[in-house]
Amino acid sequence: MRTLRRTALAEALVAARHEAGLTQQQLADKAGLSRSAIARLETGKASIGSDLLWDLAVALGQRPSHLFAIAEENPVAEETLKPTS
């Protein structure tokens, strides 16, 4: 379940970065991260905590909720949105 969420959020980050017209390096510079850190986040090899999510959203000129909205539209995330029994 967490892997699916991480994948959906990673793909949302890539989509939002493309929407903003930024390279990984440009996003890294704006967010105060290295390009390799952005690459790890975008491939789902690293998880995104709440503070980092907020910083990335600001660097992208978006609200954090925008990244979640993109992630929620991803079919990968569909399974994670169903209530567990």
pLDDT of residue 82: 74
DSSP structure class, residue 80: G
Question: In this model, does residue 85 exceed pLDDT 70?
Answer: no
CATH number of 2-75: 1.10.260.40
pLDDT 10s digits, 29-40: 999 999 999 999
What is the overall mean pLDDT for the chain? 92
Q: Give me the phi and psi of 27, to 5 degrees please.
A: -65, -40
pLDDT 10s digits, 5-24: 899 999 999 999 999 999 99
Task: Give the whole-angstrom CA distance, residue 13 versus residue 54.
Answer: 12
The domain spans of the chain are: 2-75
Task: Give the whole-angstrom CA distance, residue 69 versus residue 62.
Answer: 11
Tally of CA atoms within 13 A in the half-sphere of 85 that contains its CB: 0
